[in-house]
Amino acid sequence: MTPSSPVAAPVADAAADAAELPAAVGLGGTDNASLRVFLEGLPAVDPVGVEARAAQLATRSIKKDTKRALIDLAISMVDLTTLEGADTPGKVRNLCRKAVQPDREVPGTPSTAAVCVYPDMVAVAAEAVAGTGVKVASVATAFPAGRSSLEVKLADTRLAVEAGADEVDMVIDRGAFLAGDYATVFGQVEAVKAACGDARLKVILETGELATYDHVRRASWLALLAGGDFIKTSTGKIAPAATLPVTHVMLQAVRDLFDLTGVQRAVKPAGGIRTTKDAIAYLVAVHEVAGPQWLDPHWFRFGASGVVNDLLLQRRTQTQGHYSGPRYVSVD
């Protein structure tokens, strides 16, 4: 299935274009008044409608080869994450080994996309995954609350990038967003993006605190226009974390941006994705809401840890022809 509407050729990772995006979508300026006009002029989201659509798409029945392919794709999209106060170098190294080779006993199992850690663990992780293709992502900007000064957030970001992070997962200032101070959020994302250098920036909206789909849509556009390479649902520290309908709204945002400008951006639901069934439901949504070109680890990620083992179990079931059990895959 190919989309019918003519679209501009995608500009991959259009960092250079970031500065031009606001003008391309008709944003008048980055002051609060202009941002309000643009963001609050976006079409509303009907909550019941989007939830019904998400639920219906989740009933897609994915079988056989498609299921095998999507399991591998899902594994390759995972940002394998540990974000605990009790994280140690040993824990992080174990996680990295798991990311590189999730299932030692089953050859051909893909690596995950990245490991995701706190800034002070980036160096450990970078060393552990060096040369494997697995990326190191670091949360930053006073994660998870984001309640600090911009200086601290930028310092946090630089700490991560200088330690070798390929990707930075920042949090937006939800307080500023909810207070209508869109310019502060925009400015912070823009500044953090600048501090990232070559690292890709994931902007965590913390949708559970935004509380409405209209807010999710506005925050998505705000983050995208300010230069975020990804929009990401959640820190994993707030319930609800990622949900299918919230992810629908975010997928629609990147799709709309793409249709409008030809610039493709990525989405990362995080938290709450625990089973293979969950993961496949998300990938069906990626396929049918955003489009097939998002079915790539560069354009879609899962922020998760537990889901990997379920994906591995299902992968074994698919390849071995019988059900496996949790004792047969490693707990790291």
Residues that bind other proteins (CB under 8 A): 1-5, 43-55, 58-67, 69-70, 73, 207-208, 210-213, 216, 239-240, 243-246, 252, 272, 281, 287-288, 292, 295-296
The one catalytic residue in 232, 256, 278, 310 is 232
Q: Using only C-alpha atoms, what is the Rg of the chain?
A: 19
Nearer to other proteins, 94 or 319 (CB): 319
The count of other CB atoms within 10 Å of the CB of residue 311 is 31
Nearer to other proteins, 65 or 198 (CB): 65
Q: Rounded to whole angstroms, how far apart are CA atoms 190 and 226?
A: 5
The count of other CB atoms within 10 Å of the CB of residue 276 is 24
Q: Is residue 169 among the annotated active site residues?
A: yes
We find the least distance from the C-beta atom of residue 51 to other proteins, in angstroms, to be 5
Q: Rounded to whole angstroms, how far apart are CA atoms 146 and 298?
A: 26
Nearest-CA neighbor of 141 among 205, 212, 224, 229? Answer: 205
Q: Which tokens go with 16?
A: 């250079």
Nearer to other proteins, 43 or 321 (CB): 43
Q: Is residue 268 among the annotated active site residues?
A: yes
We find the least distance from the C-beta atom of residue 264 to other proteins, in angstroms, to be 14
We find the least distance from the C-beta atom of residue 127 to other proteins, in angstroms, to be 31
The one catalytic residue in 193, 268, 278, 310 is 268
The count of other CB atoms within 10 Å of the CB of residue 64 is 8
We find the least distance from the C-beta atom of residue 76 to other proteins, in angstroms, to be 10
Nearer to other proteins, 23 or 55 (CB): 55
Sign of the CA dihedral 54, 5, 201, 309? Answer: positive
Instruction: Please say whether the beta carbons of 236 and 81 come within 8 A.
Output: yes
Instruction: Please say whether the beta carbons of 106 and 324 come within 8 A.
Output: no
Nearer to other proteins, 118 or 258 (CB): 258
Nearer to other proteins, 73 or 254 (CB): 73
We find the least distance from the C-beta atom of residue 294 to other proteins, in angstroms, to be 9
The one catalytic residue in 169, 214, 229, 310 is 169
Q: Is residue 65 among the annotated active site residues?
A: no
We find the least distance from the C-beta atom of residue 296 to other proteins, in angstroms, to be 6
Q: Rounded to whole angstroms, how far apart are CA atoms 298 and 300?
A: 6
Q: Rounded to whole angstroms, how far apart are CA atoms 105 and 79?
A: 21
Annotated active-site positions, please?
A: 169, 232, 268
